[in-house]
Amino acid sequence: VFRARVADYTRSGFDRGHLIPAADFKGIQQAMDETFVLSNIVPQDPEMNRGYWGKTVETFVRGLASEFDEVHTITGPLFLPEYDAEAQEWRANYKVLGHPSHDLPPAVVPGPGGAGTQKVGLPMLPVPTHMYKVILGVDKDRRALALGAFVLPNRAIDSETPLSSFAVPVPVLEALSGHLFFPKLLHPGHKATAVPELCSRVTCDTAKAFKQAMKA
- Residues annotated as catalytic are 18
Residue among 32, 22, 13, 7 at smallest CA distance from 54:
22
Q: Is 54 left (phi over 0), alpha (psi -120 to 50) or beta?
A: alpha
CA 42 to chain centre: 8
Q: HSE, CB side, 13 Å, CA atoms: give it for residue 147.
A: 17
C-alpha dihedral sign at 197, 46, 13, 36: negative
Hey, what amino acid is at 17?
A: G
Which among 140, 127, 133, 207 has a CA at the least distance from the CA of 168? 133
Contact 201, 181 (CB under 8 A): no
